[in-house]
Structure 1
């Protein structure tokens, strides 16, 4: 479904597109996409053929193949997503969004270098809950459903290691599971 809308932050009418969960966003070097709703993961593959998450992006974030030199590079919808386009000649109007993107990239990069792995996973959950969560009585409900495999791909580890650490975090009361989602408990 496509429609024209002027709310994208670009001067010309923006083409809005909707994508379902697990879809890939189009590969256009001359267009950046502003996320109007939903969540997207930027991904590549390691030399071993393993998927690697490069970033998580949500409402207001700007994504696009022109923002990366990584090859291969794909943008996968983690939820149903609506994006609006901004052509290359209007990218200067996206300065604030691009600065925010750079800050988020560095935050995630700093997290993936934390040791030990249990601290790295905990910090990723805290970061994700701040970006994609909402306040509930005892913490932040992570509204983004991520599999143990997706978390492992973000941190460069195995699904089994993530599962083991999540079980330990739950036993320690740092996280709670409700309706197949996580609550990051405030301490």
Structure 2
């Protein structure tokens, strides 16, 4: 199931109170597209990579719950949905943490709650242009890396996924992305790749 494991001594340090979490832990590596197994007794502390959490509805539709990266804690025990899945968007390194050990991760879990609140704030924004702009800024802040043109969002985002997050149609998202590109707020060097060219200008335009 897992691609590889590595010794606990290679785990990057967080804080002193994490010593108990790491004492008997291995880094587990998952490949892009793999689903991280979920049980009610375990959490996962992400060390590297990006994960998308999903839930299935009674109608058979898949709903996106959130996007998570380095330092985030995920797990079905943190959610009330009936079906909880975590899919790797790229190579992911994670540490399996028991609920007992999870008491040392209060700061990380609190951050995840704040992140969920921020996404809810974004999707409640009245104007679709502002919703999409805010979402792209959020993705770039969390998963971005600096390139010559600006900040590259380091995960694959389809127009349909962006539409589902902000509650729009795919056609609307395509139109808005084209508008942002024409306004030189973003550039798309290749398919599914988005670069924020100017954070400050995009933030001012989303108001």
TM-score, structure 1 normalization: 0.91
Tell me what 2:204 maps to.
Answer: none
**Preserved CA contact (<8 Å) 2:39 2:76:** yes
Determine the C-alpha separation between the residues in 2 that align with 1:122 and 1:50.
26
Tell me what 1:182 maps to.
Answer: 194
- Give the structure with the higher percent strand: 1
Return 110-119 or 152-161, whichever deviates more. 152-161
1:21/1:165 CA distance change after superposition, 3 Å: same
Determine the C-alpha separation between the residues in 2 that align with 1:47 and 1:28.
21
Tell me what 1:84 maps to.
Answer: 95
Tell me what 1:104 maps to.
Answer: 115
**Preserved CA contact (<8 Å) 1:41 1:55:** yes
**Preserved CA contact (<8 Å) 2:8 2:22:** no
**Preserved CA contact (<8 Å) 1:4 1:13:** no
2:16 aligned with 1:5, yes or no?
no
1:179/1:27 CA distance change after superposition, 3 Å: same
The answer for unaligned runs of 5 or more in structure 2 is: 13-17, 202-207
Higher CA-based Rg:
2
Determine the C-alpha separation between the residues in 2 that align with 1:108 and 1:76.
19
| 2:85 pairs with one of 65, 69, 74 | 74
Determine the C-alpha separation between the residues in 2 that align with 1:165 and 1:21.
29
Aligned length: 187
Determine the C-alpha separation between the residues in 2 that align with 1:24 and 1:85.
14
Determine the C-alpha separation between the residues in 2 that align with 1:26 and 1:148.
27
TM-score, structure 2 normalization: 0.83
**Any residues of structure 2 matched to 1:156-175 within 5 Å, and which?**
156-175=167-186
Q: CA deviation at 1:78?
A: 1.1
2:153 aligned with 1:150, yes or no?
no
Determine the C-alpha separation between the residues in 1 that align with 2:57 and 2:131.
20
2:26 aligned with 1:15, yes or no?
yes
Q: CA deviation at 1:137?
A: 4.7
Determine the C-alpha separation between the residues in 2 that align with 1:174 and 1:74.
33
RMSD over aligned Cα, in angstroms? 1.8
1:110/1:60 CA distance change after superposition, 3 Å: same
